[in-house]
Amino acid sequence: MKLFRRRRVEPLADGRAPEVERNGRRRPSLRRLLSALLLVGALAVLTRPGKQVARVVARWIDGRVERFSEPESGTYARVLAPVLGRLYRRVADEAAAELAARGLIRRPTIVDLGCGPGDLVVAISRRIRDARIIGLDLSPSMLLWAGRHATTDGRLKFVVGDAADLPFGDASVDLVVSTLSLHHWAEPADVFAEIARVLRTGGVALVYDLDLLTLGSSQMAEVAREAGLEPGDITRERVGGGLITRLFVRFRLEGLAEE
């Protein structure tokens, strides 16, 4: 687990996100780093033997963009999130199918962990019209972008918060989703423990992340154990599909909480 542990980034007392500089050096533009990350990912898919090298390079690139404040949040919202539209639509389709299969179709409560600028929340709201969706993110600057999508009736809502300390009651959520956030979590096991706590019986969590950057299959039993779950409770599945969605894996956790 050490490999993926990161120093937790607390919002500052005045609500601003922490500074993004590292070691006193200016970082290259987010746009260039993110383009490089996508290119590395694509190469890894196309050339299997290059996967290990791609993983090292991807982690280095990602390590330089892990914290989001301005201007990174704005660049992410304007440049990268639009490129990922296909992923968000796919996640929205899968979310709708999972809820339908479980009979959770009347006003489901959905939480998006690490929602960033809120594009996934919007995609799900278009697919599941009467859902109540809450986007939660550690970064106030990301939430300024997401806040554009909030609705006055409270159906779409965005809150600052830590996925490892969710501001929701036990067994109160039908579906937890997340895209591209897991590899930023300081303590993934703490987040999975919180997900297990808030999920209703019959609910489900679908957590999507980049295969190159995220938890490997061999780590899942330990993460589950640290989260207080059984070894097989969190499954890691390939996503497949198009060039971009094939770069992702999906972690699934079924809701077992007592009502």
Please say whether the beta carbons of 98 and 206 come within 8 A. Answer: yes
Compare residues 109 and 141 and give the one whose CB is closer to ligand SAM. Answer: 141
Distance CA 164, CA 189 (A): 8
Neighbour tally for 92: CB within 10 Å: 21
Closest residue to ligand SAM: CB criterion? 116
Compare residues 102 and 199 and give the one whose CB is closer to ligand SAM. Answer: 199
Q: How far is the CB of 171 from ligand SAM (least distance, A)?
A: 21
Compare residues 181 and 245 and give the one whose CB is closer to ligand SAM. Answer: 181
Distance CA 202, CA 256 (A): 7
Binding site for ligand SAM (CB under 6 A): 68, 81, 84, 113-116, 119-120, 136-139, 142, 162-164, 179-181, 184-185
Phi, psi at residue 200, to the nearest 5°? -70, 155
3-class DSSP assignment, residue 70: coil
Q: How far is the CB of 94 from ligand SAM (least distance, A)?
A: 14
3-class DSSP assignment, residue 29: coil
Compare residues 58 and 84 and give the one whose CB is closer to ligand SAM. Answer: 84
Extract the tokens encoding 41.
Answer: 């990912």
Q: How far is the CB of 26 from ligand SAM (least distance, A)?
A: 21
Please say whether the beta carbons of 111 and 198 come within 8 A. Answer: yes
Distance CA 216, CA 213 (A): 9
Compare residues 109 and 139 and give the one whose CB is closer to ligand SAM. Answer: 139
Compare residues 83 and 97 and give the one whose CB is closer to ligand SAM. Answer: 83
Q: How far is the CB of 105 from ligand SAM (least distance, A)?
A: 24
Q: Please, what is the end-to-end C-alpha distance for the chain in angstroms?
A: 31
Distance CA 227, CA 145 (A): 32
Q: How far is the CB of 89 from ligand SAM (least distance, A)?
A: 12
Could you tell me which residues come within 8 angstroms of residue 186 by beta carbon, excluding any fewer than 6 positions away? 5, 6, 7, 8, 9, 164
Please say whether the beta carbons of 248 and 241 come within 8 A. Answer: no
Residue corresponding to tokens 């190469």? 43
Compare residues 137 and 174 and give the one whose CB is closer to ligand SAM. Answer: 137
